[in-house]
Each structure stands twice: as C-alpha cells, then as structure tokens.
Amino acid sequence: MIHDIAILGGGPAGMAAATEAARAGARTVLLEESRDPGGQVYRKPAFDGPRDADQRAGDALRAALSASGAEVITGARVWGLGGGPLVAEGFAPFVVSALGAEVTARTLILATGTHERIIPFLGWTLPGVMGLAAATILLKAQGVLPGRRVVVAGQGPLLYAVAAKIIAGGGRVVAIADAATTGEWARALPALFARPDVLARGLAWRAQIMVARVPVLMGAAVTQAVGEDRLAGVRIDGRLMEADALCIGHGLVPATEASRAYRAAHVHDPLLGGWVPVLDADRRTSVPGLYAAGDGSGLRGAAAAPASGRIAARAALRDLGFAAPASAWGAYARAARAGAAMAGLMALRPELVARIPPDTEVCACENVTRAAIEAAADAGAGTMNQLKHFTRCGMGPCQGRMCGEAASALLAARRGVPVAAVGFATGRTPLRPVPMAAILGDFDYADIPVPAPAPL
C-alpha cells in the first residue's frame, strides 16, 4: 500500500503532523524509533506515577494522534531511505526501511528532532559522563538518577530541566555550571514572555534549584572530568568538585541525516542549531514531496514543534490535492519566538572549541584527537568530507553525530574560514548501524541475483 503522507519521527512535530494529516483523510503513517511516540521532551514514562506538565502535554498529543486514525509504527529503527529523487530517472514515492517495517509514501515529513552537541574536554569519555539528553531519558523514561552526586553543566535551558528533575528525584546536584553569563540569560528572557507557560516552567525549575541551595556558576565551563576508570570529580574552571556523574551538553543540533541522504539543499545557521534544510514558509524542502518540521529543521523548541508539524502537514495535504485549512503561521511564530531565544543560548560557543586540549579525542569512535584534526587541516583537508578521508573522523558508528560539530569548528578555525565553508559529511545510509542478521533473511545461494560477470 502506498501511503499519502509518511512522517519520520514521533516527537511533538511528528505527532501533530500525523494527527493533522490523518484527520484530513490522508492515508498517514508515523514511524517512531522508541516504544511510544512522545519524543525527547514528551517522552512517555515506562512507569506509573504522578504526571508533570510535560507528561500531560505529551499524553494530550498522544491521545490526539491515537484518535486521528493515523497508523503508528513504534520501535521502528529506520536505516534505509530511498525513492523520491533517489531513483534512476525522474521521481518515485518515498521508501522508508526500518527493521521490521517498510513504508512507501507519496510525501514524507521529516520530524527527526535533534542530537546533542558535546564539545570535548579533558576526560569527557570517562564512564559517568553523559549528555544532558541521555540524562533526561534516564530521568523521564526510567525514573533513574544519573548518579548520587551530580554536576550539571553546559548550555541552554536543558541544564535547569535536568538539575530540577534530579533534585525532584531525590538526587544531589553538586553544582550547575552554565557557560552562558547572567547577561546572556537576561537578554534572552524577554522573548519567553511570549510563552508564559514555558516561562513558568523555567521559573519552577529555578525555584527547585534555589530551594535545594545548588550553586549555579554562570559563565563557567567544565575543564576536566577527573577519575581513573570512572568519574570521581569534575573540575570547573580549575575548581575540583567531587562527583560521580557529570551531565553535560552544549546545545542541540538538528538531526539532518535524512534530508542530507535525500540531497536536499541545506544552509548553516548557528541560531537554528547549525546545518538545517532550506525550507519555504510551508516547510517544503528543496526536494519535491519532502518536508521538515520541529527541532530537526531548526531549533525552535518543543512548544513550537506541533505548530510547525501542522504547517508541514497542511502543505503536504494541499500538494496532494486534499482540502486543508490555511496554515497557522501566527501561532507558530509566537511559540517560535521563545524557542529562538533558547536556541541562541544553545548555539555553538567557539571559546569552548578553542580550549579543547590537543591530545583530547574529538572523534571518540575513531580516536581522532584535536591535534590530528589540525594536522589534517594543515595537510590540506578543507572540508568535512576530506577530513573524514584524511583522519577517519566521523567514519565510526556514530557517523559524525557526536564529533561533527566540534570537528567542523576546529577545521574551520584552523583553515581561517567560517564553519559553513567546511560543509558537512555526505548523508549515507544506513542511518543507524544495522545488524546483518536482522536484514539478511533466509535465502538460497542460487537465488542471489548475481549480475553478469565483468569482462575477462
């Protein structure tokens, strides 16, 4: 069966897009990697308990999705992308392959969310150091504390969300180290008045943190994770604090693997999180039939994501000939204003890149240090694709998701060009490593369609 609209990713943008599409009568399917739709902010807990505001908002989006009649495939680890422009001639329906499911659709909305940017520092690969996003999965889905004595560090509102959740869960936050200054936050705050709900939630986090008397260090950066074989302490600008967990993240980066694989045009905008697909006002990419919504198309926050998902869905509906209401750009713009201010606080900070020690691994998969990246730059590597060839940086299992931001900033700085000039690694499938055993299936040797041999 060919669906009218497929949505890749079941966070707030994807859930809203699927709901909108199915309500309009389009044959709609949503693919989500986790067990339940929800995404990172509205992740459904794996346990029963009192619901907080995020969980209630997530439940509402999930209920609407479920009532809409959209087909929802969860546990779908998407690895293959085809169709669309990726055909021998012309244009074909989009084909999305996941383990255990394959979907064909006339249009495809990418709502793939983000991954976390971590700018390396001494000891950052020690066990006990984890991303803020990883910590939120532990806290939200499992109700598990990342440690007993936790340092929370990095940039952006996630810092305070994670710290507040640890405190609420009975954990001890030793310190919060925010790379932004008080002044930067003061400049960002007025935008939050556009979304009183978001502001109120942030203030509640701050109140929890103040009541717990957690020191909040502004304009501060972690310089070292200390420990032998696991984390024992965290050095913040020279000051050592005993800790058994460090939750750290330097902002979020739109996950653009799918739009890269479809060879859509991209643009680099630090205030949207980095590389994002080029979109029109209706969230059409440069590839016909391919749309992008939510933080994966540029950081504007979970509050703005449903509105952007609806805009994309309505554009797809209209492009397919369905009747669709006019797009609600106003609602999106209001919600996005708050998100834009937060995106500013999560933008790449060149000063953190500048202080990565020379012998520190930037690409942990392939053990490529800062010094090796700079040596490659000196030896002539001018783009991320070429850096990959010169050093293997980004060739490992994470495909550059972890190291790409720091590596491109280092390469650009060394070459004396803007980050946009060094580009990004070409999108390749599988989007995630895929076990051979899971895709090989049963086959007879005689059935392998071996092509004609090359000439002798």
Partner 1 sequence: MTYDCAVIGAGVMGCATALFLARGGMKVVLLDRAEICREASGVNAGTLTMQMTRAALVPYALRAHEMWMRMPEWCDGGTVLATACPGLSVAFTPQEAAMLEERAIARRAAGAPIELISGNAAQAIEPGLADGVLLAGHCPIDGFTSAYLTGRAFRPALLNAGVTLMENTAVRGIAGRFVLDTAAGPVAATRLVLAGGVWLQDMAAWLGVSLPIKVLINQLVVTERMDPVMRSVLGVASGLLSLKQYANGSVLIGGGWQGIGDRVRGGIAIRPEAFMGNIRLAAHTVPALRDARVLRAWTGLEAETADALPVIGPLLGVADAWTIGSVHSGYTSGPYMGKILAQAILGQAPEMPLFPMERLQ
| Start-to-end CA span in the chain (Å) | 44
Closer residue to partner 1 in complex, CB, 323/448: 448
State which H helix or E strand residue 204 sits in.
helix 196-211
Closer residue to partner 1 in complex, CB, 268/432: 432
Q: Rounded to the nearest whole angstrom, what is the least distance from the CB of residue 437 to partner 1 in the complex?
A: 5
Closer residue to partner 1 in complex, CB, 97/224: 97
Closer residue to partner 1 in complex, CB, 186/440: 440
> Could you give the count of Cα atoms lying within 13 Å of 306 in the half-sphere of its Cβ?
17
Contact 417, 453 (CB under 8 A): no
Q: Write the DSSP assignment of 25-80 as a string of letters.
A: T--EEEE-SSSSS-TTTTPPPSS-----HHHHHHHHHHHHHHHHT-EEE-S--EEE
Largest CA distance in the chain: 79
3-state DSSP call for residue 152?
Answer: strand
Q: Rounded to the nearest whole angstrom, what is the least distance from the CB of residue 143 to partner 1 in the complex?
A: 30
Pairing assessment for the beta strands 2-8 and 245-249 based on DSSP bridges: unpaired
Q: Rounded to the nearest whole angstrom, what is the least distance from the CB of residue 313 to partner 1 in the complex?
A: 26
Contact 275, 266 (CB under 8 A): yes
Residue 414 has φ and ψ, to the nearest 5°, of -65, -35
The residue type at 438: A
Closer residue to partner 1 in complex, CB, 208/391: 391
| CB atoms closer than 10 angstroms to residue 47 | 8
Closer residue to partner 1 in complex, CB, 125/426: 426
Beta strands in 251-366 (DSSP E): 252-254, 266-269, 274-277, 290-292, 361-363
CA distance 293 to 280: 11
Q: Rounded to the nearest whole angstrom, what is the least distance from the CB of residue 34 to partner 1 in the complex?
A: 20
CA distance 190 to 341: 9
Q: Rounded to the nearest whole angstrom, what is the least distance from the CB of residue 86 to partner 1 in the complex?
A: 4
Q: Rounded to the nearest whole angstrom, what is the least distance from the CB of residue 82 to partner 1 in the complex?
A: 6
CA distance 74 to 1: 18
Write out the residues near partner 1 by the rule CB under 8 A.
80, 82, 85-88, 95, 97, 261, 263, 376, 379-383, 385-386, 388-390, 392, 395-397, 399, 426, 428-430, 433-437, 439-440, 443, 445-446, 448-456
Residues 6+ apart with CB under 8 A from 442: none
Closer residue to partner 1 in complex, CB, 322/390: 390
| CB atoms closer than 10 angstroms to residue 353 | 22
Closer residue to partner 1 in complex, CB, 172/263: 263
Closer residue to partner 1 in complex, CB, 101/395: 395
Closer residue to partner 1 in complex, CB, 321/451: 451
Pairing assessment for the beta strands 361-363 and 266-269 based on DSSP bridges: unpaired
Contact 384, 406 (CB under 8 A): no
Q: Rounded to the nearest whole angstrom, what is the least distance from the CB of residue 89 to partner 1 in the complex?
A: 9
Length of the chain measured in residues: 456
Q: Rounded to the nearest whole angstrom, what is the least distance from the CB of residue 359 to partner 1 in the complex?
A: 20
Q: Rounded to the nearest whole angstrom, what is the least distance from the CB of residue 91 to partner 1 in the complex?
A: 12
Q: Rounded to the nearest whole angstrom, what is the least distance from the CB of residue 441 to partner 1 in the complex?
A: 8
